[in-house]
Amino acid sequence: MSSRGVSAGAAHRAGELVAVARDDPALRLRLAAQFYDRRVAARSIRPYRRAEIAFMRWQIQRGLLAPASAATPGSPWWRAVNESLLRDTVEADLLSNGASGEPSTTAVRHWLAFLRRPAPEAWYRAHNASIVAGYLNNRGLVALETPLERFFMDVALLRVLYAHSLLRRPKLALGRLAVLGALLGDPRRRAADLFLSLQNVLPDRYPLADLTIETVLAQENRLARVFDYGVISTRIELLYRYAAADLDEPRVSTLCNGQCPVYAWPYEYCHVWRTNRSQLGIAFIRALLGPPH
């Protein structure tokens, strides 16, 4: 992305570029991918785009990013959160290439730090800062979505926060197996798909008006269920508290109530974060890792 003609500043120009792509999912994807086309210290950063671009392709396949004018409109909420991420990366790219202005958000500052010194930990901090900002700034759109979609908003956030902790706080994430954190959490590796992908959980269509949460949870594969309920669900409060501190965004800690994420899913239906299935596997993994701390 060239910085030529950016007289009004990087933030303004980023808004213009994202606005052009707003109703074109393919152009959104291209804009996201372009951010990773540069080289830093003669090394490509393209491997860092793998998880993000794969998730966007899944969003497009589901129809989440389709324009409001489409025969089947996309999701106002998913579109807005994706736009938040795009705007931050485009602005950071412009600033890094010499455009005028100062970073308009904390997330943009994190993306600039990543571009100066690419590393998995820096990528997660920047990416999750953008995602968290998108969540917080667009909470008013949650009510437009189906109950099942709202549940998976919380699942998606929980998983990216957990993936972040694999690198930044591996003992919190994996207990006695903390040594595996760097391998499992690296966004450049396929192992991170276990946490950053929802394509094996949700059907590839939108909206999900004909499905219940009970049906979807019953169809979850055993390995994912053991990890979700045996590992991640026991660490929810600690994960949100850590993310709030690491991202310098105190409001993150308000998005869970005890061990129940409550960004979009109501606390009175907290039972969905517990299960009676796969109890042996869940008990085994909890004993193996030890209590979260």
Domain identity same for 152 and 291? yes
Domain identity same for 174 and 191? yes
Number of domains in the chain: 2
Percent of the chain at pLDDT exceeding 70? 96
The pLDDT tens digits of the residues spanning 252-263 come to 999 999 999 999
* String of DSSP letters for 41-74: TTEE-GGGGHHHHHHHHHHHHHTTT--TTSSS--
The answer, yes or no, to whether residue 89 has pLDDT greater than 60, is yes
The residue type found at 21 is: A
- Per-residue model confidence (pLDDT) at position 5: 40
Number of alpha carbons in the 13 Å side-chain half-sphere of residue 96: 22
Domain identity same for 68 and 162? no
The domain of 180 spans: 148-293
Domain identity same for 279 and 243? yes
- Per-residue model confidence (pLDDT) at position 4: 39
Does residue 172 contact residue 105 with C-beta atoms inside 8 Å? no
Domain identity same for 67 and 134? yes
Final residue before a domain boundary, out of 144, 163, 184: 144
Contacts of residue 240, defined as CB under 8 A and 6 or more positions apart, other chains included, come to: 161, 252, 253, 255, 256, 261
The pLDDT tens digits of the residues spanning 143-174 come to 999 999 999 999 999 999 999 999 999 999 99
The answer, yes or no, to whether residue 17 has pLDDT greater than 50, is yes
The answer, yes or no, to whether residue 62 has pLDDT greater than 60, is yes
Domain identity same for 139 and 7? yes
The distance of Cα 64 from the centroid of its chain, to the nearest Å, equals 15
* Residue 218, both tokens: 């019953």
Ranked by mean pLDDT, which of 99-103, 132-136, 193-197 comes out on top?
132-136
Domain identity same for 202 and 250? yes
The residue type found at 279 is: Q
Mean pLDDT of 103-122: 97
Domain identity same for 94 and 106? yes
Final residue before a domain boundary, out of 113, 144, 175: 144
The answer, yes or no, to whether residue 198 has pLDDT greater than 80, is no
Domain identity same for 27 and 40? yes
Final residue before a domain boundary, out of 87, 117, 144: 144
Mean pLDDT of 61-89: 97
Contacts of residue 263, defined as CB under 8 A and 6 or more positions apart, other chains included, come to: 135, 139, 142, 153, 154, 157, 255
Domain identity same for 123 and 217? no
Cα→Cα distances 160→40, 167, 180, 186, 195, Å: 25, 12, 17, 12, 7
- Per-residue model confidence (pLDDT) at position 2: 42
**Which range is least confidently modeled, 22-26, 51-55, 280-284?**
51-55
The answer, yes or no, to whether residue 8 has pLDDT greater than 60, is no
Rounded to whole angstroms, the Cα distance separating 107 from 86 reads: 11
Domain identity same for 135 and 156? no
Domain identity same for 132 and 152? no
- Per-residue model confidence (pLDDT) at position 13: 96
Angle between helices 120-137 and 76-96 (to 10 degrees): 130
Residue, of 8 and 70, whose pLDDT is higher: 70
